Amino acid sequence: MRTILLTILLCCVFPVSAGGTLKAVMSNDQTPLIQSHRINVVINNGFARTEVEQVFSNPNEHAIEAIYAVPVPQSAALSELSIFLGDMELQGEVLERDKAEELYQKEREQGRDAGIASKDAFDTFHFRVSPVPSMGESRFRYVYYQPIDIDTSVGRYVYPLEEGGTDEVAEQFWTRNEHVSGVFEFDLLIKSSWPISSIRIPGFSDAVQSKGNDGSHHIQIKRSEHDLTSDIVVYYQLEENLPSRVEFLAYRPEASADGTFMMVVTPGLDLKELNQGADYVFVLDYSGSMQDKLSTMQRGIEQTLGKMNSNDRFRIVRFGNQASELIGWTQASPKQIESAMSRLSKSSTIGGTNIYEGLSMGLEKLDQDRVTSLILVTDGVANVGLVEPQAFHQLMTTVDIRVFGFLMGNNSNWPLMRTITQASGGFYKGVSNSDDIVGQVLLAKSKITHECLHDASLEIKGINTYGVNNEFLNKVYRGQQLVFFGRYTKPGQARISLKARLSGADKTYQTEFDFPEVAVDHPELERLWALMRIEHAEDMHNAGLMDEAESESLVKALGLEFQLVTDETSMVVMGDDQFEQYGIDRNNRNRVMLERQAQLTRSQAPIVSPRVDRKKPMFDLPAPSLGGGALDPIHLLLAVVLALGVFIHLRQKS
Amino acid sequence: MNSVRVGCLLGTLLLSACLATYYSALADLLILDRSAVFEGQLWRIVSGHLVHLSDAHLLWDCSVFSVLTFLLHCLDRRLVAGVLTSSALVIGLAVVLFIPQVSHYGGLSGICCALFMAIVTVLRLQVQGPMKWVVNIATLAFVAKIIAELFSQTTLFVDPDPTWISLPQVHIAGGLAGTAWAYLFLTKDRLRSKLSLNFGRRGQFN
């Protein structure tokens, strides 16, 4: 009975947490212990594969169900869940959410080994494994993929662990064990075809870095115990003055199948600094959930204000349950900035999160003659006032202002932030408490204070493509990398055009390259493309361009076809016999087999540059770091021919 | 320059190229760094040729350089030092003055092109009959290779480093430098011998 009650509650209340095992407050059981936690990350060719393996132990005198929850990493495609019984691996399959839950419960009640992975909106991945035998252990592993973009030559990878603090109801219901009593290992391999000048892992001074002969970089953190309470953020900086470029990866298993591609455009653009004074409105979240993030936010604001020119102006609006203007339009002189920071530091958090009212107030009192940017800093969980994304979309389309969003911490509502910033042509960034806040501010500042490309659009001609995420492109900022996913029906030479307006003039940047007939190295691209389509469906729904039923149906179809854990689908793990008995196809097992084979092949191959516009660069090259002539076997052959000539000539002469 | 000297010079240059490629501190000191040249570090115009950017780059450059230096030495040992020095200067200056988008330059390939064209020039002046055809074909093949590089902006076999752009222009500069030096040097000898003949005749008249 207690188990049933717990299950019902689990379904009703989404558990949020830092990385850690959970148990209901009312339960008399002891929380499962985390014996070991191993994270293995490979960043290669623009996307990261994160594999987490964890061993639980059960200190109770009866078998229990272990529940583990982690914040959802941004744009993560959860694709594998496995439970290990000794050396045997039980792999999961993605099913409709309700069906997966029903089968898991059925297996669990019959005492058979089973597991389930589900996703709660933007918030939490939770994993349940049953049974963990009394005084025994249970080992499980999950894998997710996510695209990694490079901003102004800086790549950033986050392994989220820190509690977002955005769901008070769940926090009151669950108690958590975040402590790893045994081995904690973080192993990250960066295989970059561009040279990396430095790597930084804030807060982990014991991280060991090494460089492989093939130019790859390896970072390792190993501890005998660890608390899963703070994020691991890894920055890697590429060398300066690298050429602008187009990089392209494709997956097309056979000539008769549709192909999937990922194209990363790193523009080299002459975007001039905006020297005339500009206006900045800061709209700051002072709701209760921001309590632990206030100091990070205030540091960020101080850094941003400190970088302003004296002819800039700023204004600060704060919001909790209601919005209020903390500081009206003020010239950005050192004295005024100091006074503003003093007032900010005295502000404390209170109540709920009324983002809509905060934004509405931020959009007031704008001077039409000055360029204005609105900087929204929040954890993004709107729970007071208007909360529907459609309302935000409508609000932002009524004014011509760029909104730059900073999402603080994990469990943040980044789909909502994406809606807000896309509608205004701005951008958003996640900011962890473990982040180099100064670095993040500087990156954002360089975008805000420079020209950007307007009305940008991407065209692919010469081949048939579909499902390309080029609808919300609009503006391209300094240092911004553009990541496109799509599918194509026929191979051949494609002409890629990026059209935009810069300083009032039309600009077209073009290149040409081949979409391959067969390419088998990156099967993971299919899942990443499907994830992009899922996010696109959410965006369309948030913008009021797609109704909820249609969006859910699309998400479900994509989740099932490409075996992704989504809001509509979950991954259930059970024995092979059980899958057969229930008549469930092993789609995910087949995908995983292909992906592992490709990963093995890639791990043994040298790093290959995916650049495709070398022959016909899309952009004017900025100063490259290195240049030179190169000789090859043809030159050596010519030299040998010449040697023969010289030899004959010298013999004749003598 | 006698054989021992040429052997020593070749050995020294190859060893220096290896050291400059594998010791980053030495590479930093020697590479043709545009801004450093403008700050007065003029040795980089010449020393930059010793720095290579990868194993493959070093391997091919040094292989071709060794063969061609040996051939030129066999043909006319007096030309070796002059071709090496003049081409190193001409290529370095060409990079600094005419290729401003390149901030750093390295590699022996330009000098190899100078050696190649110097050999071709010597042969063209010395050989006759069917051998002339062999020389002409080799010259045409060399020019075609440079044109192909100009269009493709890459080499055929050496895996391009993504940080580094191929500069066939330096091959043109090297080829012109080698041709010019060999031609002037050899025709200067002919001119001098012609002049001395004329002076002798005049003396006879006197």
Q: Give the residue on A whose Cα is nearest the Cα of B139.
A: A638
Query: Per-residue confidence at A9, pLDDT binned at 50, 70, 90?
Result: very low
Mutation target for A interface from B49, B63, B64: give the one with most A CBs within 10 A: B64
| Least confident stretch, B72-76, B83-87, B88-92 | B72-76
Mutation target for B interface from A45, A194, A607, A635: give the one with most B CBs within 10 A: A635
| Least confident stretch, A19-28, A139-148, A284-293, A463-472 | A19-28
Please tell me which of the candidates A195, A638, A643 has its beta carbon nearest to residue B163: A195
Chain B environment of A607 (Cβ under 8 Å) = none
Other residues' Cβ atoms within 10 Å of the Cβ of residue B77: 14
Are the C-beta atoms of residues A124 and A608 closer than 8 Å to each other? no
DSSP string of A148-202?
--EETTEEEEEE--S-----HHHHHHEEEE-EE-S-EEEEEEEE-SS-EEEEE-T
Query: Per-residue confidence at A144, pLDDT binned at 50, 70, 90?
Result: very high
The residue type at A415: P
Hey, what are A385's tokens?
A: 């006032």
Average pLDDT over residues A451-469: 89
Hey, what are A50's tokens?
A: 């994160």
Flag whether pLDDT at A163 surpasses 70: no
Mutation target for B interface from A642, A653, A654: give the one with most B CBs within 10 A: A642
Flag whether pLDDT at B161 surpasses 90: no
Higher pLDDT, A584 or B157: A584
Q: Give the residue on B whose Cα is nearest the Cα of A196.
A: B163
Q: Give the whole-angstrom CA distance, residue B6 versus residue B8.
A: 5
Hey, what are B11's tokens?
A: 């050995």
pLDDT of residue A221: 94
Query: Per-residue confidence at A528, pLDDT binned at 50, 70, 90?
Result: very high
Q: Give the whole-angstrom CA distance, residue A253 versus residue A491.
A: 12
Average pLDDT over residues B136-145: 87
Please tell me which of the candidates A625, A645, A648 has its beta carbon nearest to residue B163: A625
CA angle B192, B194, B197 (to 5 degrees): 110
Are the C-beta atoms of residues A297 and A349 closer than 8 Å to each other? no
CA distance A624 to chain B (A): 6
Q: Give the residue on B whose Cα is nearest the Cα of A620.
A: B101
Average pLDDT over residues A86-107: 93
Chain B environment of A638 (Cβ under 8 Å) = 116, 138, 141-142, 145
Flag whether pLDDT at A502 surpasses 60: yes
Task: Give every CB contact of residue A395 below 8 A, 6+ residues apart in sequence.
Answer: A356, A359, A360, A363
The residue type at A421: T
Q: Give the whole-angstrom CA distance, residue A13 versus residue A170.
A: 6
Flag whether pLDDT at A535 surpasses 50: yes
What's the maximum distance between 2 C-alpha atoms anywhere in chain A?
A: 107
pLDDT of residue A42: 94
Q: Considering only CA atoms, which of A184, A83, A86, A79 is closest in space to residue A140?
A: A83
Average pLDDT over residues A468-496: 87
Are the C-beta atoms of residues A607 and A129 closer than 8 Å to each other? no
A605 touches chain B (CB under 8 A): no
Q: How many CB pairs under 8 A join A and B?
A: 162
pLDDT of residue A459: 92
Within its chain, how far is the Cα of A605 from the centroid?
26
Scanning the structure block, which residue is given the tokens 């996307």? A47
pLDDT of residue A343: 86
A343 touches chain B (CB under 8 A): no
Higher pLDDT, A621 or A355: A355
Q: Give the residue on A whose Cα is nearest the Cα of B142.
A: A638
Average pLDDT over residues A635-646: 81
Hey, what are A29's tokens?
A: 């059981």
A239/B162 Cβ within 8 A: no
The most confident of the ranges A119-128, A252-261, A274-283, A462-471 is A252-261
Hey, what are A171's tokens?
A: 């926090």
Higher pLDDT, A349 or A245: A245
Average pLDDT over residues A243-256: 91
CA distance B195 to chain A (A): 26
B168/A636 Cβ within 8 A: no
pLDDT of residue A17: 40
A195/B168 Cβ within 8 A: no
B141/A632 Cβ within 8 A: no
Higher pLDDT, B143 or A526: A526
Flag whether pLDDT at B157 surpasses 60: no
Q: Give the whole-angstrom CA distance, residue A557 versus residue A566.
A: 10
B155/A632 Cβ within 8 A: yes
pLDDT of residue A53: 93
| Least confident stretch, A186-195, A319-328, A601-610 | A601-610
Flag whether pLDDT at A8 surpasses 80: no
> What is the complex's ipTM, to 2 decimals?
0.75
Within its chain, how far is the Cα of A391 from the centroid?
25
Hey, what are A462's tokens?
A: 């010469």
Residues comprising chain A, all counted = 654
Are the C-beta atoms of residues A606 and A116 closer than 8 Å to each other? no
Q: Considering only CA atoms, which of A546, A456, A449 is closest in space to residue A500?
A: A456
Q: Give the whole-angstrom CA distance, residue A562 versus residue A38.
A: 26
Question: Could you tell me the CA-to-CA distances from A462 to A151, A235, A274, A434, B185 in Å, in that order?
Answer: 30, 38, 38, 46, 56
Average pLDDT over residues A199-228: 87
pLDDT of residue A273: 66
The most confident of the ranges A10-14, A435-439, A621-625, B28-32 is B28-32
DSSP string of A568-610?
SEEEEE--HHHHHHTT---HHHHHHHHHHHHHHHHHHSPP---
Chain B environment of A649 (Cβ under 8 Å) = 75, 123, 126-127, 131
B152/A242 Cβ within 8 A: no
In chain B, domain spans: 3-205
Higher pLDDT, A201 or A26: A201
Are the C-beta atoms of residues A436 and A461 closer than 8 Å to each other? no
CA angle A190, A191, A193 (to 5 degrees): 130
Q: In b/e form, how buried is each residue of A548-569, taking b as 16+ CB within 10 angstroms?
A: eeebbebbbbbbbebbbbbbbb
Q: What would the pLDDT profile of B14-37 be if each residue is shown by its tens digit?
A: 888 888 777 766 777 888 877 678
CATH class of B3-205: mainly alpha
Flag whether pLDDT at B160 surpasses 50: no
pLDDT of residue A570: 95
CATH code linked to domain A279-448:
3.40.50.410
A635 touches chain B (CB under 8 A): yes
Other residues' Cβ atoms within 10 Å of the Cβ of residue A275: 9
Q: Give the whole-angstrom CA distance, residue A415 versus residue A386.
A: 16
pLDDT of residue A513: 93
Task: Give every CB contact of residue B198 below 8 A, 6+ residues apart in sequence.
Answer: none
Chain B environment of A635 (Cβ under 8 Å) = 60, 64, 109, 112, 116, 145
Flag whether pLDDT at A566 surpasses 70: yes
Chain A environment of B153 (Cβ under 8 Å) = 614-615
Q: What would the pLDDT profile of B114-126 be if each residue is shown by its tens digit?
A: 999 999 999 888 8
Please tell me which of the candidates A615, A624, A648 has its beta carbon nearest to residue B163: A624
pLDDT of residue B173: 92
Query: Per-residue confidence at A72, pLDDT binned at 50, 70, 90?
Result: confident
Question: Could you tell me the CA-to-CA distances from B63 to B4, B10, B30, B69 in Å, in that order?
Answer: 19, 11, 21, 10
Flag whether pLDDT at A122 surpasses 80: no
Q: Give the whole-angstrom CA distance, residue A570 versus residue B133.
A: 75
Mutation target for A interface from B31, B154, B161, B169: give the one with most A CBs within 10 A: B161
List all residues of chain A from 239 to 258 with a beta carbon under 8 Å from chain B: 239, 241-243, 245
B138/A630 Cβ within 8 A: no
Q: Give the whole-angstrom CA distance, residue A114 versus residue A572.
A: 7
CATH class of A2-240: mainly beta
pLDDT of residue A91: 94
Higher pLDDT, A151 or A531: A531
CA distance B69 to chain A (A): 10
Alpha-carbon torsion, ordered A420, A423, A427, A433, to 10 deg: 0
pLDDT of residue A305: 80
Q: Give the whole-angstrom CA distance, residue A283 versus residue A280.
A: 10
Flag whether pLDDT at A14 surpasses 60: no
Task: Give every CB contact of residue B201 below 8 A, 6+ residues apart in sequence.
Answer: none
Chain A environment of B104 (Cβ under 8 Å) = 625-627
Other residues' Cβ atoms within 10 Å of the Cβ of residue A522: 23
Chain B environment of A628 (Cβ under 8 Å) = 52-53, 57, 105-107, 109, 164, 166-167, 170
Q: Give the whole-angstrom CA distance, residue A47 versus residue A246.
A: 15
- In terms of C-beta density within 10 A (0-12 exposed, 13-18 middle, 19 or more buried), how is residue A350 classed? middle
Give A179's strand partners: A227
Are the C-beta atoms of residues A537 and A556 closer than 8 Å to each other? no
Chain A environment of B60 (Cβ under 8 Å) = 630-633, 635-636
Flag whether pLDDT at A101 surpasses 60: yes
CA distance A631 to chain B (A): 6
pLDDT of residue A226: 86
Flag whether pLDDT at A12 surpasses 50: no
Flag whether pLDDT at B110 surpasses 80: yes
Within its chain, how far is the Cα of A302 from the centroid?
26
| Least confident stretch, A57-71, A172-186, A341-355, B174-188 | A172-186
Run of H or E residues at A423? helix A414-424
pLDDT of residue A596: 94
Q: Give the whole-angstrom CA distance, residue A336 versus residue A81.
A: 54
Hey, what are A645's tokens?
A: 């000539």
B123/A645 Cβ within 8 A: yes
Chain B environment of A625 (Cβ under 8 Å) = 103-104, 163-164
Chain B environment of A652 (Cβ under 8 Å) = 131
Average pLDDT over residues B130-159: 74
Higher pLDDT, B34 or A23: B34
Residue-averaged pLDDT of chain B: 79
Flag whether pLDDT at A358 surpasses 50: yes
Higher pLDDT, A6 or A195: A195
Q: Give the whole-angstrom CA distance, residue A408 versus residue A386.
A: 21
CA angle A214, A479, A265 (to 5 degrees): 65
Q: Give the whole-angstrom CA distance, residue A232 versus residue A207.
A: 11
pLDDT of residue A539: 85
B157/A632 Cβ within 8 A: yes
Q: What would the pLDDT profile of A595-620 be if each residue is shown by its tens digit?
A: 999 999 988 888 778 888 877 788 86
CA distance A563 to chain B (A): 35
Flag whether pLDDT at B153 surpasses 60: no
pLDDT of residue A636: 79
Please tell me which of the candidates B61, B119, B155 has its beta carbon nearest to residue A646: B119
pLDDT of residue A172: 52
B75/A646 Cβ within 8 A: yes
Task: Give every CB contact of residue A380 below 8 A, 6+ residues apart in sequence.
Answer: A355, A405, A407, A412, A413, A414, A416, A417
DSSP category for residue A290? G
Hey, what are A255's tokens?
A: 């000539």
Say yes or no: do domains A2-240 and A279-448 share a fold.
Answer: no
A628/B164 Cβ within 8 A: yes
Residue-averaged pLDDT of chain A: 83
Q: Give the whole-angstrom CA distance, residue A432 versus residue A439.
A: 12
Flag whether pLDDT at A534 surpasses 70: yes
List all residues of chain A from 222 to 241 with a beta carbon under 8 Å from chain B: 239, 241
pLDDT of residue B164: 54
Average pLDDT over residues A128-144: 89
Higher pLDDT, B188 or A541: A541
Chain A environment of B168 (Cβ under 8 Å) = 629
In chain A, domain spans: 2-240, 279-448
Q: What is the SS3 assignment for A386?
A: coil
Chain A environment of B163 (Cβ under 8 Å) = 194-195, 239, 242, 624-626
Q: What is the SS3 assignment for A257?
A: coil
Query: Per-residue confidence at B101, pLDDT binned at 50, 70, 90?
Result: low
Please, how many CA atoms are within 13 Å of residue A269, restricted to the half-sphere of its CB? 29
pLDDT of residue A5: 35
